[in-house]
Amino acid sequence: MSSPQRQPPTLSQRVNTPIIVFGGGVMGSAIIRSAISTGAVESARVCVIDPDAGKLEYLRALGIHTLCAQGETVCEDLRALRSTNAGFAGHWLVLFAVKPQHFATAAATYAQALRDTDIVLSIMAGITTAQLGASLPGKVVRAMPNTPAQIGLGVTGVCLGEGVNETDARDALALLNASGPVLRVIPESRMDALTALTGSGPAYVFYLAEALTAAAIKHGFTQDEADELVRGTIRGAAELLVASPKLSPQQLRAAVTSKGGTTQAACETLDALGVKEAFEKAVDAGTRRAGELSGSISPGKTQ
């Protein structure tokens, strides 16, 4: 599926505050790259903190400020950045994009560099707004994007912390919207399920691609042939699904399933093997795991 041709952001769609990013991994860097490429963010007003010098070198090439998290002076460096660099004056939008297991350590390390006027945007699976608010100063926004954000096709669900309204969250929503559509604002009780559905969802599609590729090779296709066939099939089916909003997935499947034909035989085999139930159980397991990640970190716990 090709990246969409997106219009340049309007003034109301641009991020007007400096951005501090804790974690320069896949999702953190994808969100920032998309925002810069669409014009929603100025690279000179972004600072990424990460312990991996290699990641930081790549981001610096984009004009982004970077700080190595291995040093003990990161908080001092951040405070100096706010006080001496006009581009980072005032309140910040602070994106927490570290692994949820590392949140307690990150919060304990960096909280002293933040202010109550900052907006904290978390994309960490399972970490609740209560835990964020108890561990960090600032107003809290919790979000769950997915990896297609790398090409501007992400889907993101958002919930707001206590006392936070959409006006407070404007810059956070503008940043996320640069990576694809934002489903706003959902109850926090649904965030774990959203994490398992859309956050992990691309992996389910890639899992399907793995299985189809293996089946193609079993039936005599080369690796390159199988790869081309499977990628093309998934892309075409996805484009057709998106282009047919009035048709359900079931209706689209029925349209290609002739009675007594090959597709019917294949789908009946999938039904007999309980594939639909397996997907349901997979989402259940992902939802439970998101809840477990939340339970492993008590509100205010920093060690």
pLDDT of 302 above 70: no
Which of 56-65, 69-78, 91-100, 121-130 is the least confident region?
A: 69-78
What pLDDT was estimated at residue 296? 57
Asked if the model's pLDDT at residue 273 lies above 70, the reply is yes
Question: How many domains is the chain built from?
Answer: 2
Point out the domain boundary residue: 131, 152, 187: 187
Whether residue 8 is predicted with pLDDT greater than 70 in this model: the reply is no
Whether residue 303 lies inside any domain: the answer is: no
What residue spans of 25-73 are helical by DSSP H? 26-38, 53-60
pLDDT band at 301, cuts 50/70/90?
A: very low
Beta strands in 172-228 (DSSP E): 182-184
Q: Is residue 176 domain-shared with residue 224, that is, in the same domain?
A: no
Q: What is the pLDDT of residue 73?
A: 86
Average pLDDT, the chain: 91
121 and 50 fall within a common domain:
yes
Q: What is the pLDDT of residue 114?
A: 96
* pLDDT for 267: 98
Q: Judge whether 60 lies within some domain.
A: yes
Which one of 130, 153, 187 terminates a domain?
A: 187
Q: Is residue 6 one of the residues assigned to a domain?
A: no
278, two tokens = 């397996």
Query: Do 18 and 82 have their domain in common?
Result: yes
The enclosing domain of 109 has a CATH number of 3.40.50.720
Q: Are 167 and 246 members of one domain?
A: no
Give the mean model confidence (pLDDT) for residues 137-161. Answer: 94
SS3 content of the chain, % helix, strand, coil (to 5): 55, 10, 35
Residue 196 included in any domain: no
Q: Are residues 153 and 221 in the same domain?
A: no
Question: Are 65 and 127 found together in one domain?
Answer: yes
At residue 300, the pLDDT reads: 47
Distance CA 228, CA 185 (A): 38
Mean pLDDT score, 94-100: 96
As a whole number, mean pLDDT of residues 238-262 equals 97
Q: Domain limits at 27?
A: 11-187
Distances (CA, A) of 55 to 24, 66, 69, 192: 7, 10, 12, 29
Condensed to tens digits (0 to 9), the pLDDT of residues 18-77 reads 999 999 999 999 999 999 999 999 999 999 999 998 889 989 999 999 999 865 689 999
Residue 264 lies in a domain: yes
194 within a domain of the structure (yes/no):
no
Q: Are residues 142 and 115 in the same domain?
A: yes
Classify residue 195: in a domain, yes or no.
Answer: no
User: Sign of dihedral through CA atoms 194, 196, 197, 198?
Assistant: positive
Same domain, 33 and 156: yes
Bridge partners for 96 per DSSP = 22, 122
% of the chain residues with pLDDT over 70: 92
Range scoring the smallest mean pLDDT among 20-24, 70-74, 179-183, 241-245: 70-74
Regarding whether 255 and 205 lie in a shared domain, the answer is yes
Among the residue ranges 41-45, 197-201, 292-296, the one predicted with the least confidence is 292-296
136, 206: one domain? no
For position 254, which CATH number holds?
1.10.3730.10
CA distance 118 to 137: 7
Same domain, 25 and 159: yes
Regarding whether 251 and 138 lie in a shared domain, the answer is: no
